[in-house]
Amino acid sequence: MTYQKLTKTEEEIMQMLWDQEEPSTVSQLIKRMEEPHPPHSTISSIVRILEKKEFVSYKAYGRTHVYFPVVGKKEYTKFSVKKIVSNYFEGSMNELVSFLVQENDLSLKDLGQLVDKLKKDEE
């Protein structure tokens, strides 16, 4: 499935929904945010955008809507990594890994452990 890219704020809201075990109202999301809390209308608008992008859905209880993710964190992470690789590394995972090693974001030891883990997963 192809997803639309999320803005930073949309991703923050999704992270909160992914991290929770239970669906949330807009008010519950706002309570989990740092002070000063954003206006209810702002977060409500962002959640509705996420609904239009088909990342969240809701159940209505009277006038109260309780939101829950319909796109999993793992699914969106996979999409995001593929997009980064496509846009910045000519579609090559090797280029991405090489970049991470060169920038010291991934040590050779970490790389070796990753290779070992992948080999175990194949068995």
In Å, what is the CA distance from 2 to each residue of 39, 76, 78, 84, 119?
31, 9, 11, 14, 29
Q: What is the pLDDT of residues 60-115, one digit of tens each?
A: 999 999 999 999 999 998 888 888 888 988 888 888 888 888 887 777 788 788 77
Q: How would residue 16 be classed by pLDDT, with cut points 50, 70 and 90?
A: very high
Pairing of strands 64-69, 56-61: antiparallel
Q: Which CATH architecture has domain 8-69?
A: Orthogonal Bundle (1.10)
Strand ranges inside 1-123, DSSP E? 56-61, 64-69
- How many residues in total does the chain contain? 123
pTM confidence score: 0.77
Q: What is the pLDDT of residues 19-29, one digit of tens each?
A: 988 999 999 99
Ordered by start, the domain boundaries in the chain are 8-69, 73-122
In Å, what is the CA distance from 39 to each residue of 9, 23, 36, 100?
14, 20, 9, 39
